[in-house]
């Protein structure tokens, strides 16, 4: 464990050095993610200029859900962004061999290799929105709810990571799986709004199949209403754990099935 942490720290330092090389790129990247979310919030404000409530939620509550959903998304984006490269080109180009020859776990190596600072845009925006809206949205912070908040954020991030690991691993069989990851990943857009606005079919899909509803709406429902912590918070932990186990087993099988594509 100590060795792993040391390796992670060394790789991180290397990463930050390369970031300094492309400083402008980093700034424009982070700025774009902030603008993107700001436009999303502008949209919510325009809607609420015409209506008092959306699906029974006030403006501040919707902003809280929206902001909350950005935090796990940003965390996963920051720490595991390299998983995209597995599905898009690492396996296809035959570059995956490199990871198999090192004396550390390939999955850990892939993840540790890239630290995506651009995600700071999403994280800053998400935290700011949660802080600004929490008061007016009647979120009560007790020691217990703060603990639940931290747990929910960590496990919600793992839902993202698990979906990326599971779909990236498909590349071991089909060489390129980036688009499949993309389709699954885009489903997270549904997490930003109350699931009650969707049809039953969509609600079932985002709760039980691609469970992004647990990265936004469900945990927020607990913080906003105090209702049903077993499902709303426990669900996040359960879903993330199950999903991660499935993803890791796909990854393991994939490693066995992997044949180098390079020459």
Binding site for other proteins (CB under 8 A): 22, 24-29, 31-33, 35-36, 39-40, 42-43, 46-47, 50-55, 176, 179-180, 182-183, 185-187, 189-190, 192-193, 197-199, 202
The C-alpha torsion from 8 through 14 and 15 to 19, rounded to 10°, is 160
If the CB atoms of residues 61 and 109 are measured against other proteins, the closer one turns out to be: 61
If the CB atoms of residues 22 and 141 are measured against other proteins, the closer one turns out to be: 22
DSSP assignment of 56-93: TB-HHHHHHHHHHHHHHHHHHHHHHTTHHHIIIIITTT
CB of 231 to other proteins, least distance (A): 22
User: Of the candidates 217, 197, 221, which has an alpha carbon nearest to the alpha carbon of residue 207?
Assistant: 217
**CB under 8 Å to 209, separation ≥6 — which residues?**
none
CA angle 68, 156, 5 (to 5 degrees): 115
Under a CB-based contact definition with an 8 Å cutoff, are residues 217 and 65 in contact?
Answer: yes
User: DSSP 3-state assignment of 96?
Assistant: coil
If the CB atoms of residues 64 and 149 are measured against other proteins, the closer one turns out to be: 64
CB of 123 to other proteins, least distance (A): 17
CB of 212 to other proteins, least distance (A): 11
CB of 146 to other proteins, least distance (A): 30
Under a CB-based contact definition with an 8 Å cutoff, are residues 82 and 113 in contact?
Answer: yes
User: Of the candidates 165, 168, 161, 174, which has an alpha carbon nearest to the alpha carbon of residue 257?
Assistant: 174
If the CB atoms of residues 72 and 178 are measured against other proteins, the closer one turns out to be: 178
If the CB atoms of residues 182 and 249 are measured against other proteins, the closer one turns out to be: 182
If the CB atoms of residues 154 and 202 are measured against other proteins, the closer one turns out to be: 202
CB of 50 to other proteins, least distance (A): 6
CB of 81 to other proteins, least distance (A): 13
Query: CA-CA distance, 184 to 14, in Å (whole number)?
Result: 31
CA angle 128, 131, 134 (to 5 degrees): 140
CB of 190 to other proteins, least distance (A): 5
If the CB atoms of residues 55 and 245 are measured against other proteins, the closer one turns out to be: 55
């Amino acid at each position: 464990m100590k060795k792993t942490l040391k390796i992670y720290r060394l790789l991180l330092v290397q990463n930050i050095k390369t970031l300094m090389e492309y400083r402008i790129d980093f700034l424009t990247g982070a700025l774009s993610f902030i603008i993107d979310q700001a436009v999303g919030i502008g949209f919510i404000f325009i809607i609420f200029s015409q209506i008092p409530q959306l699906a029974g939620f006030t403006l501040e509550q919707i902003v809280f859900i929206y902001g909350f959903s950005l935090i796990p998304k940003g965390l996963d984006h920051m720490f595991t962004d390299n998983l995209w490269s597995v599905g898009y080109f690492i396996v296809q180009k035959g570059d995956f061999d490199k990871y198999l020859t090192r004396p550390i776990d390939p999955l850990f190596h892939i993840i540790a290799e890239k630290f995506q600072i651009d995600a700071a845009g999403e994280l800053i925006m998400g935290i700011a929105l949660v802080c600004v809206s929490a008061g007016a949205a009647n979120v009560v912070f007790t020691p217990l709810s703060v603990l639940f908040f931290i747990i929910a954020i960590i496990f919600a991030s793992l839902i993202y990571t698990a979906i990326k690991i599971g779909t990236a691993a498909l590349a071991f069989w089909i060489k390129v799986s980036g688009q499949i990851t993309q389709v699954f990943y885009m489903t997270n857009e549904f997490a930003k709004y109350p699931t009650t606005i969707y049809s039953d079919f969509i609600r079932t899909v985002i709760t039980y199949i691609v469970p992004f509803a647990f990265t936004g709406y469900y945990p927020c429902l607990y913080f906003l209403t105090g209702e049903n912590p077993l499902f709303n918070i426990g669900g996040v932990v359960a879903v993330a754990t199950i999903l991660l186990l499935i993803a890791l087993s796909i990854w393991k099988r994939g490693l066995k099935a992997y044949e180098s594509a390079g020459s």
